[in-house]
Structure 1
Amino acid sequence: MNITQEKINDLGSVITINIQPADYKAKVEKAIKDQSKKARIPGFRPGMVPAAHIKKMYGKSILLDEINNLLSDSLNNYISDNKLEVLGQPLPKVDQDRDYKWDFEDTFEFSYEVGLAPDFKADFSSKDKFTKYKISADEETIKSRMESLQRAYGKMTNPEKSAEGDSIYGELVQLAEDGFVLEGGISHTTSVRIELVEDAKIKKSLIGLKKDDVVSFDIQKAYKNNATLIHNLLNISEEEAAEVKGNFQLTVKNVNRLEAAELNEEFFNKVFPDGSVTSADTFKEYVVKEIESQMQMNADRKLSNDIYEYAVDKIKFDLPSDFLKRWLKATNEKLTDEELEKDYAGFEKNLKWTLIENKVVQSNNIEIKPEEVIALAKERIAAQFAMYSPTPLSDVQLNEYTQNFISDRERATQMYNEVRSNRVFEFLKNTVETKEKAIDYKSFLELK
């Protein structure tokens, strides 16, 4: 076998693989013999089908499979042995002049075009300057979060009339264009949460309703064409929810209101069974700490994003764009030319960052350890459960959930990539110069 590489330019090459009969005959003969032992063909006993018969019936398809396997292995090994940093995947070049007989004596030659990563430096230092924001929690945000927790542990009541924040339990029925109930239309008994209605006029029409009241509204207008909300409300598929039109009639059966719990001993014991919070003051301290911890995460994400934008703009290098566009089209059959042109700039930007990230990892010997991946998975799972209860999972439960989570290969890879990205940003944040700036939450939200 002979493999050669012809450079097109610094960002592309053509790899040609020449395969002689000696390279594949033994593999094909073995595959034929293996097949003869497994084949079930009328007129022959199981395992006793002559190899010559298998060759006559299936020889060409077996040869094709073995050539494909040989090509794949040879190409991957060549790329690995020669330390080629390939972008995307090799694309086979079609040669219309070649017509193989597939008679077990052919000499085959296949060529593949590959896109190559550019050579560049990713140098960062204290000359690269960034702002690190320290966000303070404002009283409005603190109050809102405290009230949210109080409602979450409050009690359900049934007021006579609906008010903003209530849920209306009733029957939703689809109407025809003439305003009468549509025969064979959608009908579902459900809870309409007033706060989720986005149209101000429709939301106002739902306030002040009492049992047996009837009101009609445009379902798409009410939820600003949000198919997910409509799907949940009407118990139909999201595809149907996106297409459903017209008015729906709501007949009120009941009004439900979640009354906020009082800040008393019962509330504190229920929410904080460990006794860490026992008064309104310590409850507020807990909420402020929770909010500012979340805000610090937002500030860290902002700094990471600023570094990302700065890096892809500062570090200049070219990519094999023509090749990458062909590769994207070849691997995404439904991708139109219009979609490709529209989305390519974003794809190229993310690819540039991936290459910069790779360079930072390689140049600074950043090593990702398995325990880091497990620790991040635990953090994600614990945070998800914390959304529903301030009581943390036990170590045994958390370990069990984590093992189940990372046993999925795709999830494990996702966690690894996230750890890797975090380590790169951590390295860069410690390398560049950051200046801390105090800012209130509302002003921070207005930053680009």
Structure 2
Amino acid sequence: MNITQEKTGNLNAVVKIKIAPADYTEKVDKAIKDQAKKAQLPGFRKGMVPAAHIKKMYGKSILVEEVNSLLNDTLTNYIAEQKLEILGQPLPKMDDERDFKWDNTDEFEFDYELGLAPTFDVEITSKDKFIEYVVKADQETLEGRIKNIRRSYGKMSNPEVSAADDVLYSELTQLSPDGSVFEGGITSTATIRLDQIKDKKILKSLIGLKQDDEVVIDLQKALEDVAIISKALNISEEDAAELKSDFKLVVKNVNRLEESELNQEFFDKLFGEGTVTDEAGFRAKMTEEVESMFKQDADRKLSNDIYEQLLTKYNFELPDEFLRRWLKATNEKLTDEELAEGYDDFAKNLKWTLIENKIIKDNQIEIKYEDVVQAAKAKLDAQFRMYSPSPLPEDQLAQYAVQFLQEKENANRVFEEVKALKTFEQIKSIATLEQKEIAYDKFIELAKN
């Protein structure tokens, strides 16, 4: 067997593999004998089919299979032995002029194109500077969070007259343009949350209503969210997006979630017994919670700034034409238009992966199984806290995390998240971070740009 490599560009190469009969004959003969022992053919007892008969019937397909297997093993081993860092997978070059007989006497030659990873260095120093924003809780966001947490622990009541934050259990009936009931139209019973009403004029019309009161509303204008509208009317989101009709809303009941009192029982439920003893302590805890959520947003902003700055700093080339062909070869449904539109983002993410891998390798950063489990636990804990502020017991959370990671897709995703986190931590430990306080509304505007 003869293997050679020819560089066809800075980041491209062709590997040529020549296979002689001596390289595959023994493997083919063994495969034929093995199949003869297992074959069940008419006129022969099991295991007594002559090898010559198997060769005559299946010899060509066995030869093709063994040559392909030999090719794959040879190419994989060659790439590993030569320490070639490739992007994508090798692509076989098609040569219409080669016509093999497949009769066990052929000398085969196969060519494979390789896309090579670029060689570059990543050097993070204190000269790399980034702004680390410290987002402060504004009064509106803080009051909104306090209101929501108090309502989640509050009691349900049924007042006679609706107010701004109530929920109307209503009957909705589609109307014709002339205001009459649309024959065969949509009817539905739904809960309409007044805090979801976007139009101030419509909201005003829904305040002060009693049981059996009627109003006509434009749901599209009132809610502006096809998901909410489709759920309220029990129709598809596509139909909800096309909806133009007004609806008659008849109030069947007014529901109100009363806010919990700021007392010791409420504080103990939220934070544990005796942790908070007065309103000032409660508001301090809420401020801390809100600002911790802001910190996650600020961390994402910092990571994105690092990502963009380092991609600009290390703007190396990729074997673009090879990668485009590889993407088309491995994604049969990918159109030329989709490839043209998505390639730049693909290349950008691939460059970052190469930078990330370089930082991991150069700094000998380990990603242990325990790191992945801890990350899974944190992810699940955050999800559960969306429904209940009380944390899950540690043993139960650990059990959920292990179950979560048994799904290969989940495990791979969390592994990549841990890898990214460790990379950014390494960068931040060396680069210069300038802390800057900023109001939440200003930060939101900044993050949009």
The TM-score, its normalising length taken from structure 1, stands at 0.88
Residue equivalent to 1:324? 323
Residue equivalent to 2:102? 102
Letter in 2 for 1:211: Q
Shift of 1:9: 1.0
* 1:83 partner SS: coil
Q: Is the 8 A contact 2:268 2:275 kept in 1?
A: no
Q: Is the 8 A contact 2:173 2:181 kept in 1?
A: no
Residue equivalent to 2:154? 154
Residue equivalent to 1:289? 288
User: Cα gap change, 1:329/1:268 in structure 2, threshold over 3 Å: closer, same or farther?
Assistant: same
User: Cα gap change, 1:199/1:106 in structure 2, threshold over 3 Å: closer, same or farther?
Assistant: farther
Letter in 2 for 1:131: I
Distance between the aligned counterparts of 1:34 and 1:165, measured in 2?
Answer: 77
Computed over aligned residues only, the root mean square deviation of the Cα atoms, in angstroms, reads 2.9
Equivalent runs, 1:29-428 vs 2, <5 Å: 29-39=29-39, 41=41, 49-172=49-172, 180-181=181-182, 183=184, 187-198=187-198, 206-214=206-214, 223-224=223-224, 226=226, 228-235=227-234, 241=239, 245-247=243-245, 249=247, 250-428=249-427
Q: Is the 8 A contact 1:216 1:247 kept in 2?
A: no
Distance between the aligned counterparts of 2:30 and 2:357, measured in 1?
Answer: 42
Distance between the aligned counterparts of 1:433 and 1:392, measured in 2?
Answer: 36
Shift of 1:420: 1.4
Distance between the aligned counterparts of 1:44 and 1:165, measured in 2?
Answer: 84
Count of residue pairs brought into register by the alignment: 445
Distance between the aligned counterparts of 1:98 and 1:113, measured in 2?
Answer: 17
* 1:316 partner SS: coil
Cα deviation per residue 1:299-344 (whole Å; 9 max; x = unaligned)? 2222221111110011121111111222222222332222222222
User: Cα gap change, 1:52/1:232 in structure 2, threshold over 3 Å: closer, same or farther?
Assistant: farther
Distance between the aligned counterparts of 1:272 and 1:67, measured in 2?
Answer: 67
User: Cα gap change, 1:57/1:385 in structure 2, threshold over 3 Å: closer, same or farther?
Assistant: same
Which has the higher mean CA deviation after the structures are superposed, 8-17 or 268-277?
268-277
Shift of 1:147: 0.9
Distance between the aligned counterparts of 1:79 and 1:370, measured in 2?
Answer: 28
Distance between the aligned counterparts of 2:177 and 2:50, measured in 1?
Answer: 74
Distance between the aligned counterparts of 1:197 and 1:49, measured in 2?
Answer: 79
* 1:16 partner SS: strand
Q: Is the 8 A contact 1:170 1:189 kept in 2?
A: yes
User: Cα gap change, 1:223/1:64 in structure 2, threshold over 3 Å: closer, same or farther?
Assistant: farther
Shift of 1:278: 3.0
Shift of 1:195: 3.3
Cα deviation per residue 1:364-412 (whole Å; 9 max; x = unaligned)? 2222222212221122122222222222221211221111112222222
User: Cα gap change, 1:285/1:43 in structure 2, threshold over 3 Å: closer, same or farther?
Assistant: farther
Distance between the aligned counterparts of 1:182 and 1:402, measured in 2?
Answer: 53
Distance between the aligned counterparts of 1:292 and 1:109, measured in 2?
Answer: 64
* 1:438 partner SS: strand
Which has the higher mean CA deviation after the structures are superposed, 430-439 or 272-281?
272-281
Show structure 2 runs of 5+ residues with no match: none
Identity %: 55
User: Cα gap change, 1:115/1:229 in structure 2, threshold over 3 Å: closer, same or farther?
Assistant: farther
Show structure 1 runs of 5+ residues with no match: none
Letter in 2 for 1:411: N
Distance between the aligned counterparts of 2:62 and 2:198, measured in 1?
Answer: 62
Distance between the aligned counterparts of 1:170 and 1:44, measured in 2?
Answer: 78
Shift of 1:296: 2.3
Shift of 1:205: 5.3
Letter in 2 for 1:189: T
Distance between the aligned counterparts of 2:67 and 2:219, measured in 1?
Answer: 59
The TM-score, its normalising length taken from structure 2, stands at 0.88
Distance between the aligned counterparts of 1:60 and 1:218, measured in 2?
Answer: 72
Letter in 2 for 1:104: N
Q: Is the 8 A contact 1:176 1:246 kept in 2?
A: no
Which has the higher mean CA deviation after the structures are superposed, 29-38 or 412-421?
29-38
* 1:109 partner SS: strand
Cα deviation per residue 1:140-180 (whole Å; 9 max; x = unaligned)? 22221111100111122223344433333234456677864
* 1:261 partner SS: coil
Distance between the aligned counterparts of 1:423 and 1:125, measured in 2?
Answer: 17
Distance between the aligned counterparts of 2:129 and 2:284, measured in 1?
Answer: 34
Shift of 1:59: 3.7
Q: Is the 8 A contact 1:175 1:246 kept in 2?
A: no
Shift of 1:76: 2.0
Shift of 1:15: 1.6
User: Cα gap change, 1:244/1:174 in structure 2, threshold over 3 Å: closer, same or farther?
Assistant: farther
